[in-house]
Amino acid sequence: MTSENVTTRSSKVSGWLAQGMQLAGIVLAVFIAKGAIAEPFYVPSGSMEPTLLIGDALLASKYPYGYGTASLPMQINLPETGRVFEGTPKRGDVVVFRWPGDTSQAWVKRVVGLPGDRIQMRQGQLFINDHPAQLRPDGMGEAEDDNGGVERAYRYVETLPNGVSHAILKMRDNGRLDNTPEVTVPPGKLFVLGDNRDNSADSRVPVRDGGVGLLPIDNLVGRADAVVGSWDLGMRSQPVWTWLSGFRVARFFTAVH
């Protein structure tokens, strides 16, 4: 074996090693960014309609509420051990969190109750500390179910006591979750609701029954700040060549309110 062959082989090994280190650095940077800055999520259900639609791709910011094991990329599932730089959400924030029933699942809801708040639903209207959230009729909307079916729904603009306004849907009067006992939110917990009030397993429903119950703040992943993309899943039943028309371009890179 000549010295030239040895040099060539050594150069190849060095090149592979450099490429491997570069790839490892990219993977590490992605994991750090997903753990510390923001992480994308996909919306699979209609519980947050009309704010979020089935098929939306969300970007959740990690820094507003501090960091804990729940902030790690969703592929990493470790027991919660508390948070650093902890921040409390504001009423009206749309949050992504690890579902208390299975922390490998990410869910998204709207915060309406903070620690110490008294929360109750009365005839479909939200009461916070015995004060009703204002409701203004806003015409009709459509609520899509997980199978692509659509149901007409009443649309309202709800305004929370801190002035945050957002749209909600009500498909029926006297829904099963329209009247609830008053609940005082304990320390370290949040009360969350879906904007599609008749199709959301949220804090009105205990974890044992498939809901969220009172959400531990330590389960927060981040704040849903933007929709970065959206595709109408109903297009799956259409011919492949029509699928491009399913992209909801108007929703790309829009803020979540």
- Enumerate the domain spans of the chain: 1-36, 39-119+179-255
The stretch 69-79 carries a mean pLDDT of 75
Give the model's pLDDT for residue 238. 82
Considering the chain, what is the average pLDDT of its residues? Answer: 85
**Which of 178-196 are b and which e, b meaning 16 or more Cβ less than 10 Å from the residue's Cβ?**
bebeebebeeebbbbbbbb
Of the two residues 161 and 28, the one the predictor is more confident about is 161
Q: Is residue 147 predicted with pLDDT exceeding 80?
A: no
Using CA atoms, how far residue 242 sits from 21, 232, 249, in Å, is 42, 11, 15
| Residue tagged active-site, from 62, 109, 170, 189 | 109
The stretch 60-79 carries a mean pLDDT of 82
| Residue tagged active-site, from 47, 200, 203, 230 | 47
Looking at domain 39-119+179-255, which CATH architecture does it have? Ribbon (2.10)
Say whether 62 is catalytic: no
Using CA atoms, how far residue 133 sits from 136, 140, 166, 203, in Å, is 10, 20, 11, 17
**Which of 28-54 are b and which e, b meaning 16 or more Cβ less than 10 Å from the residue's Cβ?**
eeeeeebbeebbebebebbbbbbbbbb
Say whether 170 is catalytic: no
Of the two residues 112 and 176, the one the predictor is more confident about is 112
